[in-house]
């Protein structure tokens, strides 16, 4: 395995498959996913994983359904974006057919990105645009340092702000059907 080398051309998924370590490839541009995130990021990820997982278990018990939450690292391949592979912090997938040996192939029901100093710009621009273009219904952006979240919902093909959430407040995910406490 090798590391990506600066090139005048963009990288491909075939290139990406040969690299050591964890990399995202967004429209042919490689992004190193190391070093590991800060403890604040990991605390937020763990808390949200537990909160979402428990809410999904309760929903499954009372209403049925097949939704599950998956945490990074997991590869996400979006339709219509053949030169990219994403590694969101958390993902909810309600269609088991989208889970393959490669990772998630298709549009998840929710993507969560937890901002960090090195990823905030990419999460708020490139990844937001990619998730919006692919039709990801909800995008939750969490800032563990500011202790707030922003829920974006897809409306008429564009993300609209659905809620700003303070730490400790409840946010209704999956079209308002899944109450989860942030933080």
Q: What is the mean pLDDT of residues 69-92?
A: 95
Structural domain harbouring 154: 37-181
**Mean pLDDT (whole number) for 40-62:** 94
Gyration radius of the chain over CA positions? 16
Percent of the chain with pLDDT strictly greater than 70: 95
In a domain, 1, yes or no: no
- pLDDT reported for residue 44: 94
Q: Is residue 18 part of a domain?
A: no
Q: Is residue 97, in this structure, part of any structural domain at all?
A: yes
178 Cα distance to chain centroid: 17
Q: Is 150 contained in some domain?
A: yes
Mean pLDDT over 27-31 rounds to 91
* 22 inside domain: no
CATH of the domain at 155: 3.90.1570.10
What is the overall mean pLDDT for the chain?
Answer: 92
Q: What's the pLDDT at 9?
A: 64
Distance from C-alpha of 110 to C-alpha of 94, rounded to nearest angstrom: 9
Domain count, the chain: 1
DSSP tag of 159: E
DSSP state of 11: P
Q: Kindly state whether residue 13 falls inside one of the protein's structural domains.
A: no
DSSP 8-state assignment for residue 158: E
Among 35-39, 102-106, 173-177, the minimum mean pLDDT is found in 35-39
Tens-digit pLDDT profile for residues 83-136: 899 999 999 999 999 999 999 999 999 999 999 988 899 999 999 999 999 999
- How many angstroms separate the CA atoms of 74 and 24, rounded? 10
CA dist 171 and 80 (Å) reads 30
- When pLDDT is averaged across residues 5-28 and rounded to a whole number, the result is 82
Residue 36 pLDDT grade (very low, low, confident, very high; cuts 50, 70, 90):
confident
Tell whether 177 is covered by a domain.
yes
Q: Does residue 73 belong to any structural domain of this protein?
A: yes
Closest among 34, 134, 125 to 76, alpha carbons compared: 134
The β-bridge partners of 158 are 155
Work out whether strand 90-93 and strand 178-181 pair parallel, antiparallel, or are unpaired. unpaired
pLDDT attached to residue 147:
94
Claim: this prediction has a pTM higher than 0.85: yes
C-beta of residue 110 within 8 angstroms of C-beta of residue 91:
yes
């Amino acid at each position: 395995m090798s590391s990506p080398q600066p090139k005048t051309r963009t990288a491909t998924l075939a290139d990406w498959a040969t690299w050591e370590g964890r990399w995202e490839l967004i429209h042919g541009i490689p992004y190193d996913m190391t070093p590991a995130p800060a403890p604040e990021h990991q605390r937020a990820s763990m808390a949200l994983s537990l909160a979402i997982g428990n809410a999904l278990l309760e929903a499954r018990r009372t209403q049925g359904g097949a939704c599950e939450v998956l945490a990074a690292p997991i590869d996400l391949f979006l339709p219509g974006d053949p030169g990219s592979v994403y590694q969101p912090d958390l993902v909810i997938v309600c269609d088991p057919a989208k889970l393959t040996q490669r990772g998630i192939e298709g549009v998840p029901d929710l993507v969560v990105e937890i901002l960090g100093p090195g990823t905030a710009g990419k999460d708020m621009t490139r990844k937001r645009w990619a998730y919006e273009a692919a039709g990801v219904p909800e995008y939750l952006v969490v800032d563990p340092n500011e202790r707030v979240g922003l829920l974006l919902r897809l409306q008429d093909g564009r993300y609209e702000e659905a809620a700003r959430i303070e730490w400790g407040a409840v946010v209704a995910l999956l079209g308002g059907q899944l109450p989860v406490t942030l933080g």
